[in-house]
Structure 1
Amino acid sequence: MMQTWEQLQTIQPNVVRMLTNSILKDRVAHAYLFEGGRGTGKKEISIQFAKSCFCNNKTGAEPCHVCIECKRIDSGNHPDVLFISPDGLSLKKEQIIELQREFSKKSVEAKGKIYILEHADKMTTQAANSLLKFLEEPSGRTVAILLTEQVQQILPTILSRCQILNFKPLPPDLLLEKLIEQGVPNHLGKLVSSLTNNLNEALGILSDEWFAQARTIVIQLNEFLIKRGGSQALLFLQEKWMPHFKEKEQLNTGLDLLLLWFKDLLYILIGKENNIIYIDQTELLEEQSVGYSQKKIADHLALILEAKKRLNANVNPSLLMEQLILKLQEG
């Protein structure tokens, strides 16, 4: 989806300001490192930046988006804009050598060349050393854009040759706004924007019927917990919860949803109802909050976080959930 600098500025104001200024003043750096979490707009902004550099009809820093240059960049077919992604699990030396070979040729349009290196942290040592040589001896107007989610994995010698731009996570309220624009109901948008700051990932989660069922199961589990019917809750766990949260990642999401429920109970107790995530369940939350103190909820939150940690340490999922339910009921 085509976006303007103005639209991208709502996601990454500092990054956009720095890049557009460099374009307007014709002070484009030789190498950039875009670092930040998944879904923060690194690739979209690198494409927009390339379009701004090559567009023949731009207004200020804004590319026209319709000329042949812009269209070729959007489709990934521009001869002077190259995308390099890991070959398998890593970016290999051969890929960097091929890139150097490609860039030793004169640019087709005589405006220079741009290469965008995705997952730059996945370079092998040999690839990183080859890239380093390339960064030290640029040919013509060559611009490198390295994208990474793991900046600590990049060689310090490479970092020192790049202008580093930090991409901040998408704020939940901005993500919620974007989800509502896409027709997502407010109560589901609010919930999923608490689980991810990635728009595409959020839409993917919401398109899966599994997520809607997971939400219902979490609400039902809390009803069993509040009734203090120990055996009933364990039966529900075996019959409904475990068959639904089969994979480790699914169970982790289930624990996140449970965590958000208890946070909502805490918000009610401290009078911050505006922060509630399960907004369509306010009545039930208010009813349940009567049975809790702030300390008890804090203890429950700690138990769920501990269960998440143990899940990552490969504890048996069924046993882990049984122990968690019993501890939550003891509280």
Structure 2
Amino acid sequence: MRNWKEMAETQPAIVKMLTNSVTKGRLAHAYLFSGGRGTGKKAVASLLAKSYFCEQKTGSEPCQSCKECQRIDSGNHPDLHEISADGTTIKVEQIRQLKKEFSLRGMESHKKFYIVNEADKMTDAAANSLLKVLEEPDGEAVAVLITSHIQRILKTILSRAQVLSFAPLPVDKLVHQLVTIHTINEKDALTASRLTSDMEEALQLCQNDWIAQARNKVIQLIDDLTLRPRYVFITLQEEWIPFFKEKTDVQIGIDLLMLWYRDVIRVQVEQTDQIVYIDQEDKLQDQALKLSQMKLGHNLQAVMDAKRRLDANTAPQLLMEQLLLRLQEG
């Protein structure tokens, strides 16, 4: 349960601006929260909703225990509406429903709060429909659009929302806190810090040694690609697919593959102090000697293409099989 003081440790400028607006009763009608994964955008949006509805807040700080705060935590507040992608996109029908909600008075507080997750996934029709809502705000309402890809947002929407850019928590600070405060071992802390900038998400990745097991699956796959190429598809079927079950897990697996090849490049350019797989330096050194920069570039491009195709809803097993074929080329 996050509060503004905690959020200020990682996003001080944004927290100061929002809390001042809450205290003065001057919240904008629309915000765009932009920043990388794990920078706290969703947590700030939820906390802002609490500050907006809580009737027992102290200054800008919600009480966290009243009916309004508890219903936001449980996800069933009648005047808080959240939109997420339906499949791979946010469709115009979803925005039309949102417009309908905008036209209605709040059920209890006469106020409404809206969160649009992954706003960059709106279709053109949906984005244009939302634009009309932002141009003509009706009643007392706040809309928060969340994105990790601000370049995909219509400029007309950007011009009608207050854009807040979330900075990532510095890697060294995140690693230090994971190791010293939460007693996570350094190799797992380093790996988690490259996957997210958010402390809570990093801790979740490290829970029950999940990130350690994920690293081992990636290392095993790399070993098979390098030393036992005939067995790599068996490893994929027996080890990788059963472990990386959900789409979010597959995304992390692909990110870990990308980190591996970036580590090989770091070894080639003598930046070994920046490698993530700190316990695998001998293997990284070996690959750095054997792989040309052209081949490494090909491998990284293959991994990045796979990540984009996963976002486009390609079946994970087919995607991984095709990725392995590309990694074996040349």
Q: Distance in 2 between matches of 1:279 and 1:311?
A: 21
Which residue of 2 is the match for residue 64 of structure 1? 63
CA 1:46–1:155: 2 relative to 1, 3 Å: same
Q: Distance in 2 between matches of 1:93 and 1:278?
A: 44
Farther off after superposition, 46-55 or 182-191:
182-191
The Cα shift of 1:186 comes to 2.0
Q: Distance in 1 between matches of 2:182 and 2:94?
A: 38
CA 1:159–1:277: 2 relative to 1, 3 Å: closer
The answer (yes or no) to whether the contact 1:120–1:148 under 8 Å persists in 2 is yes
* Secondary structure in structure 2 of the residue aligned to 1:207: helix
2:86 pairs with 1:95: no
Partner residue of 2:299 out of 296, 302, 307? 307
Partner residue of 1:256 out of 239, 255, 259? 259
Which residue of 2 is the match for residue 188 of structure 1? 188
The Cα shift of 1:311 comes to 4.8
The Cα shift of 1:179 comes to 3.7
How do residues 105-144 of structure 1 correspond to structure 2 at under 5 angstroms?
A: 105-110=104-109, 112-144=111-143
- Structure 1 gaps of 5+ residues are 222-232, 324-331
TM-score (normalised: structure 1): 0.74
Deviation string, structure 1 residues 110-129 (Cα, Å, up to 9, x no partner): 35211111122222233222
Which residue of 1 is the match for residue 144 of structure 2? 145
Partner residue of 1:317 out of 299, 315, 324? 324
TM-score (normalised: structure 2): 0.74
Deviation string, structure 1 residues 89-141 (Cα, Å, up to 9, x no partner): 22222222222222322223335211111122222233222222211221221
Q: Of the two, which has the highest radius of gyration? A: 1
Q: Distance in 1 between matches of 2:117 and 2:254?
A: 30
How do residues 245-284 of structure 1 correspond to structure 2 at under 5 angstroms?
A: 250=253, 253-254=256-257, 256-260=259-263, 263=266, 266-267=270-271, 275=274, 277-279=276-278
Q: Distance in 2 between matches of 1:149 and 1:33?
A: 10
CA 1:155–1:44: 2 relative to 1, 3 Å: same
* Secondary structure in structure 2 of the residue aligned to 1:83: strand
RMSD (CA atoms): 3.6
The answer (yes or no) to whether the contact 1:218–1:257 under 8 Å persists in 2 is no
The answer (yes or no) to whether the contact 1:55–1:70 under 8 Å persists in 2 is yes
One-letter amino acid of the structure 1 residue matched with residue 301 of structure 2:
K
Q: Distance in 1 between matches of 2:96 and 2:280?
A: 57
* Secondary structure in structure 1 of the residue aligned to 2:101: helix
Farther off after superposition, 211-220 or 86-95:
211-220
Q: Distance in 2 between matches of 1:301 and 1:95?
A: 46
The answer (yes or no) to whether the contact 1:196–1:202 under 8 Å persists in 2 is no
The Cα shift of 1:157 comes to 1.5
Q: Distance in 1 between matches of 2:166 and 2:107?
A: 32
Q: Distance in 2 between matches of 1:281 and 1:164?
A: 41
Q: Distance in 2 between matches of 1:312 and 1:215?
A: 16
Which residue of 1 is the match for residue 158 of structure 2? 159
The answer (yes or no) to whether the contact 1:217–1:240 under 8 Å persists in 2 is no
One-letter amino acid of the structure 2 residue matched with residue 87 of structure 1:
D
Which residue of 1 is the match for residue 216 of structure 2? 213
One-letter amino acid of the structure 2 residue matched with residue 237 of structure 1:
R
* Secondary structure in structure 2 of the residue aligned to 1:79: coil
Q: Distance in 2 between matches of 1:316 and 1:114?
A: 42
Q: Distance in 2 between matches of 1:316 and 1:109?
A: 52
* Secondary structure in structure 2 of the residue aligned to 1:193: helix
* Secondary structure in structure 1 of the residue aligned to 2:194: coil
Which residue of 1 is the match for residue 316 of structure 2? none
The Cα shift of 1:237 comes to 3.4
The answer (yes or no) to whether the contact 2:174–2:193 under 8 Å persists in 1 is yes
Q: Distance in 1 between matches of 2:323 and 2:222?
A: 23
Which residue of 2 is the match for residue 53 of structure 1? 52
Identity %: 38
Q: Distance in 2 between matches of 1:84 and 1:58?
A: 26
CA 1:207–1:305: 2 relative to 1, 3 Å: same
Q: Distance in 2 between matches of 1:305 and 1:13?
A: 38
Q: Distance in 2 between matches of 1:202 and 1:302?
A: 36
CA 1:54–1:189: 2 relative to 1, 3 Å: same
* Secondary structure in structure 2 of the residue aligned to 1:32: strand
User: How many residues were matched structurally?
Assistant: 298
